[in-house]
Amino acid sequence: MHDLDIKGWMEKVREIRPLVHNITNLVVTNIVANALLAVGASPVMAYAKQEVGDMARIANALALNMGTLDESTVEAMLLAGRAANEEGVPVIFDPVGVGATPYRNEVAKRVIDQLHITVLRGNAGEMGILLGTGGEVKGVDAVSMAQDLPENMRAYSRKNNCVLIATGETDYVTDGYTLWQLQNGHPLLAAITGSGCMLTGILGAFLGAAGRKADTRTYAEACVAALACYNVAAEIAAEKAVGPGSFLTALFDALYNLDVSLVEQRAKIVQMGDC
């Protein structure tokens, strides 16, 4: 159903321990750092405008997340993003809560217009709103997804030469040509805050493993591997958990102990025609 080397990607992450520079939100900072450590990456959170450019330049990937915005964070994101773009460092952007307020919409537009984003990842509601194709959010949560979202993602991705990812019960990834549909994961992911933010950080780690100035197809394949690892880890964690609290702990353990051969066995990935 697919021809991806998930094992190879995970091994690369563990081998090179990518430095992921995160400008993320106040709710999830600690769990994003712990999730990155658990997969074998090296997280750093840096926000000061005096240092974000320098940090982004030495990082393997930059992860921008607009969950709890203010103007100094936005300024930091743009400075870091420009530095990353100059060096070819891959940049992932998570437009948390876009559609909830005009300010969030304006900031998402500024980031997308002013930076070259390597990967744009949101829940299905956020992605529909960003693409102007419908979809609904309530605060930071998706309420609904437009039927034609995957095809609209493919068109946007091709036009802008970036990877698009919409998550939910089913996840969609596209490089503008191929569309991958993934069916792993667990409803407990929607019962903890930050499941999307942790995923964004981990996607950053896999992009870092792909290296600087890689092509969009390579970055997309790294993202599909990251999603498969994360969501199979969530399934393993859910088997041990009794509720959201123990699930989060079990998720760190499952990411840390992840047997990649098991991910390859359990991954439910459909790769849909190049066009």
Q: Which stretch binds ligand TZP (CB under 6 A): 2-10, 24-32, 201-209, 248-256?
A: 24-32
**16 vs 190, which CB is nearer to ligand TZP?**
190
Give the nearest distance from C-beta 172 to ligand ATP in angstroms.
10
What gap in Å lies between CA 137 and CA 106, rounded to an integer?
Answer: 16
**83 vs 260, which CB is nearer to ligand ATP?**
260
What gap in Å lies between CA 104 and CA 97, rounded to an integer?
Answer: 7
Q: Which stretch binds Mg ion (CB under 5 A): 54-62, 88-96, 144-152, 161-169?
A: 88-96
What are residue 182's DSSP bridge partners?
Answer: 171, 269
The answer to the question of residue 150 lying near ligand ATP (CB under 6 A) is no
Position among 43, 196, 201, 211 found at the interface with Mg ion (CB under 5 A): 196
In contact, 32 and 22? CB cutoff 8 Å: yes
In contact, 154 and 176? CB cutoff 8 Å: yes
What gap in Å lies between CA 219 and CA 26, rounded to an integer?
Answer: 28
The residue with tokens 């760190």 is: 252
Instruction: Give, as ranges, the residues between 160 and 199 that touch ligand ATP (CB under 6 A).
Output: 167-169, 171, 185-187, 189-190, 195-196, 199
Instruction: Give, as ranges, the residues between 177 and 196 that touch ligand TZP (CB under 6 A).
Output: 193-196
Which of ligand TZP, Mg ion, ligand ATP, none binds 169 (CB below 5-8 Å, type-dependent)?
Answer: ligand ATP
- In 3D space, the residue among 14, 129, 119, 145 whose CA is nearest the CA of residue 65 turns out to be 119
In contact, 233 and 131? CB cutoff 8 Å: no
Would you give the distance in Å from CA 254 to the centre of its chain?
18
What are residue 93's DSSP bridge partners?
Answer: 64, 120
Position among 22, 25, 34, 157 found at the interface with ligand TZP (CB under 6 A): 25
Which of ligand ATP, ligand TZP, Mg ion, none binds 40 (CB below 5-8 Å, type-dependent)?
Answer: none
Which residues are near ligand ATP by CB under 6 A?
123, 140-142, 167-169, 171, 185-187, 189-190, 195-196, 199, 230-231
